[in-house]
């Protein structure tokens, strides 16, 4: 809680600054309290999803990787292990990439005169699609040179009945 007596002009600016700092610290990401800050050399990405009427119709795909120059023909990916961790005592998930591995890809022969293109190359992982939950942030810790992107997948509310054979 921030208190201030605004009776003196020099103190007014100090108090206003202090109040803004208190409001900023307390207002930014209220659900991040259990998540530790990023270690040195790492960055913490936070994805906050908007609240929806029916969140069961959506899922989230995490795309962790790096934008690099590649040829325009081959499909590329980075090695690395994206893991799901749990904050002990809270039960909240977060995701962590300890190290970005080497880049690999298919071996189709591109035209030698074709220019290189800038592409986002993802890390392959087996997490699958994540549950859409606007109540908790999706927190991802990665090395500084790595980017985190995501896609929202959606479906129709109508169910399709399977047939018995």
Strand order in the sheet with 93-97: 42-47, 138-143, 93-97, 82-86
Q: What is the spatial distance between Cα 66 and Cα 61, in angstroms, rounded to a whole number? A: 16
Looking at per-residue pLDDT, the higher value among 60 and 5 belongs to 60
The pLDDT tens digits of the residues spanning 59-93 come to 999 999 999 999 999 999 999 999 999 999 999 99
Residue 28: is its pLDDT beyond 70? no
DSSP alpha helix (H) spans, 28-145? none
Looking at per-residue pLDDT, the higher value among 16 and 40 belongs to 40
List all residues 6 or more positions away from 75 whose beta carbon is below 8 Å from its beta carbon.
Answer: 105, 106
The pLDDT tens digits of the residues spanning 103-119 come to 999 999 999 899 999 99
Q: What is the spatial distance between Cα 109 and Cα 106, in angstroms, rounded to a whole number? A: 9
Q: What is the spatial distance between Cα 132 and Cα 44, in angstroms, rounded to a whole number? A: 19
SS3 assignment, position 104: strand
Whether 66 and 101 have beta carbons less than 8 Å apart is answered as: no
Q: What is the pLDDT of residue 78?
A: 96
Whether 90 and 37 have beta carbons less than 8 Å apart is answered as: no
SS3 assignment, position 24: helix
Q: What is the spatial distance between Cα 156 and Cα 91, in angstroms, rounded to a whole number? A: 30
């Amino acid at each position: 809680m921030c208190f201030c007596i605004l009776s003196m002009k020099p103190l007014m600016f100090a108090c206003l600054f202090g109040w803004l700092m208190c409001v900023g610290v307390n207002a930014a990401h209220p659900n991040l309290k259990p998540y530790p800050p990023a270690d040195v050399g790492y960055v913490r990405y936070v994805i906050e999803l908007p609240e929806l009427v029916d969140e069961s119709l959506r899922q989230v795909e995490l795309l962790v990787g790096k934008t690099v120059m590649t040829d325009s023909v081959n499909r590329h990916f980075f090695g690395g292990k994206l893991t799901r961790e749990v904050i002990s005592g809270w039960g909240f998930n977060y995701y962590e990439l300890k190290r970005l591995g080497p880049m690999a890809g298919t071996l189709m022969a591109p035209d030698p005169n074709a220019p290189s293109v800038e592409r986002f190359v993802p890390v392959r992982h087996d997490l699958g699609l994540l549950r859409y939950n606007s109540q908790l942030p999706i927190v991802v810790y990665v090395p500084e040179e790595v980017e985190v992107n995501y896609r929202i997948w959606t479906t129709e509310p109508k169910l399709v009945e399977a047939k018995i054979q």
